[in-house]
Amino acid sequence: MRTGMHSAGFPMSKGGITVRGTPRTLLSIVAAAAIGLLAAACSSTPPQTPAQASASASVSASARASLLATELKITPANGSHDANPAKGITVTATKGTVSQVTVTSPGGTTVTGTLRDGGRVWHSTWTLGVSKSYTVTATGTDGSGQKITTTSTFRTLTPSSVFHTEIYEGSGQTYGVGMPIMLIFSQPITNRAAVERSLSLTTSKPVTGSWYWDDSTHLDFRPRDYWPAYTTVSFTGHLAGVEGAKGVYGAADLTQTFDIGRSLIAVASTTTHKTQIYKDGKLLYNWPISTGRPSLPTPDGTYVSVEKQNPVRMIGGGAPGSAGYYNELVNYAVRFTFSGDYYHSAPWSVIDQGTTNVSHGCVNLPPEDAVTYYNLSIPGDPITVTASTAAGKWDDGWTEWFLPWSKYLHGSALDLAVEAGPQGSQFVPPSALPADTAAAPLLTSAAGNYFAGSANIATAG
């Protein structure tokens, strides 16, 4: 027997399998196995380099992100550089639902939003800031109910023009119950409804009111009736990114908190020559007065006190040297019209106070009474003049209370009332409001109060 050869029929082991056959058969099997190994070695995929593996993973991640972006769509899209801030952020689940959305921005800007359409759409509550970067991370479910997450990082446009907003009320200051909230815009506003929608109020006591556009740069808020005494008011204008006019966007938000103090109501009759002073609904004083002489009557109307000075120089009555000319320092003066009408001390007319109208249009008070009223007065205290032969002039002072509630409502671009309280404010149809039971002069102004010869409303108390 030859060395190294197996006899016919002798078992031969190959790869753990026992093979029987002739030597030629066995050689064929071994050769075939060798060829198979060679073919396998020739057809195998060469191992990837680290760079190739990274690129492959990147392509896979990109494809996955694209798929997620179709099922959980964020607008503005990732990579946008000129997003319109007025349109805000929208997240839409095309097959499933949206469960959570977080928005981050340099500077810690908070962006809130709400879900609608059965959880399929999330939209930001307010507009976005101009020239700002935002990153949105949205989580939801796909069509099969599996959790998915996608992100979008974008930047809002830089507008060619912006508007700024100022509020008259000072932080932490206290005002009377007739005080309007007064906003001034640096640019004319044509998209007035959008600006109104961006405004919100939080009040410590329930308040119903309305916004009123005096003109394209002035917007005021007035309650339906006087503010409840001792109310804290917080105003927020979410104005950043609001398109107030074509191509003109709000530069920044605006916030302010102030207080409404005690109720102090003054009512002056040009015919009874008396003024009643009510504090917190009770008659405090009933003083003799002298109002404007027949040629210079004090105009009718429900005004609010604008400012006070002691003393103030009053000049008027024509050219120097003319019969009606005057130039005097007047003490303890509380102003209620821009044209120069005041409640003030008038020692020179004490003899006429209570019987005759001799002033140049102001309400003359006895000196001691003028001091008392001056010390009590703050901006926003209602002052009503009645039974005059002269009508009040719109915008000669803070004249928001000239208008009855029904007409004041029409000054709103939305034609909606505002209901405010500790939880914030909302716009509501006027028809949904309860009936108004407030009575003049202590809780609200009388209808037609600025017309000449209006009825004397100084009857309460």
CA distance 123 to 256: 26
* Helix, coil or strand: residue 26: helix
Rounded Cα distance, 228 and 237, in Å: 22
How many H helices and E strands in the chain?
5, 33
Angle value at C-alpha 289, between 286 and 290, nearest 5 degrees: 165
pLDDT value of residue 315:
82
Catalytic residue among 273, 344, 360, 410: 344
pLDDT per residue, tens digit, the chain (461 aa), is 333 333 333 333 334 433 444 443 433 433 444 334 334 443 445 566 665 555 455 545 455 555 566 789 999 999 999 999 999 999 999 989 999 999 999 888 889 999 999 999 999 999 999 999 999 999 999 888 899 999 999 999 999 999 999 999 999 999 999 999 999 999 999 999 999 999 999 999 999 999 999 999 999 999 999 999 999 999 999 999 999 999 999 999 999 999 999 999 999 999 999 999 999 999 999 999 999 999 999 999 999 999 999 999 988 766 776 767 777 899 999 999 999 999 999 999 999 999 999 999 999 999 999 999 999 999 999 999 999 999 999 999 999 999 999 999 999 999 999 999 999 999 999 999 999 999 999 999 999 999 997 554 443 32
Confidence (pLDDT) at 69:
60
Tokens of 265: 């109501």
Which are the contacts of 113, defined by CB distance < 8 A and separation ≥ 6? 88, 89, 101, 103, 122, 123, 124, 125
Q: Minimal CA–CA distance to 242: which of 189, 291, 280? A: 189
For residue 129, the 8-state DSSP code is P
Q: Which residues contact 355 (CB under 8 A, 6 or more apart)?
A: 273, 288, 290
Q: pLDDT value at position 323?
A: 67
Q: Which domains are present in the chain?
A: 64-155 (2.60.40.3780), 161-260 (2.60.40.3710), 264-400 (2.40.440.10)
With contact defined as beta carbons under 8 Å apart, do 77 and 154 qualify? yes
Cβ–Cβ under 8 Å, residues 84 and 129: no
Alpha helices in 44-123 (DSSP H): 50-71
8 Å CB contact between 244 and 185: yes
Give the three-state DSSP class for 436: coil
Active site residue 81: no
CA-to-CA distance for 250 and 212, rounded, in angstroms?
19
Beta bridge partners of 250: 163
Helix (H) or strand (E) holding 25, with range, is helix 23-43
CA–CA separation, 256 and 237 (whole Å):
9
CA 23 to chain centre: 97
10 Å Cβ neighbour count for 261? 19
Alpha carbon of 123 to those of 65, 105, 185, 347: distances in Å? Answer: 21, 17, 27, 65
Q: Where are the beta strands (DSSP E) in 298-430?
A: 301-304, 307-309, 312-316, 326-330, 333-335, 342-345, 363-365, 382-386, 417-421, 424-428
pLDDT for position 62: 53
Number of CB atoms found within 10 A of residue 460's CB? 15
Who's near 425: CB < 8 A, 6+ residues apart?
200, 201, 202, 203, 418, 419
The model's pTM is 0.81
Determine phi and psi for 368, rounding to 5 degrees: -65, -40
CA-based R_g, the chain, Å: 40
H or E segment to which residue 40 belongs: helix 23-43
The dihedral through the CA atoms of 46, 47, 52, 56 has a sign that is positive
Q: Is 344 a catalytic residue?
A: yes
Amino acid at 16: G
Residue 37 pLDDT: 38
How far apart (Å, rounded) are the C-alpha atoms in residues 344 and 361? 11
Cβ neighbour number for residue 47 with a 10 Å cutoff: 7
- pLDDT score at 316: 78
Q: Looking at residue 326, what is its pLDDT?
A: 78
Structure tokens at 271: 């015919």
- Which residues pair with residue 231 across a beta bridge? 260
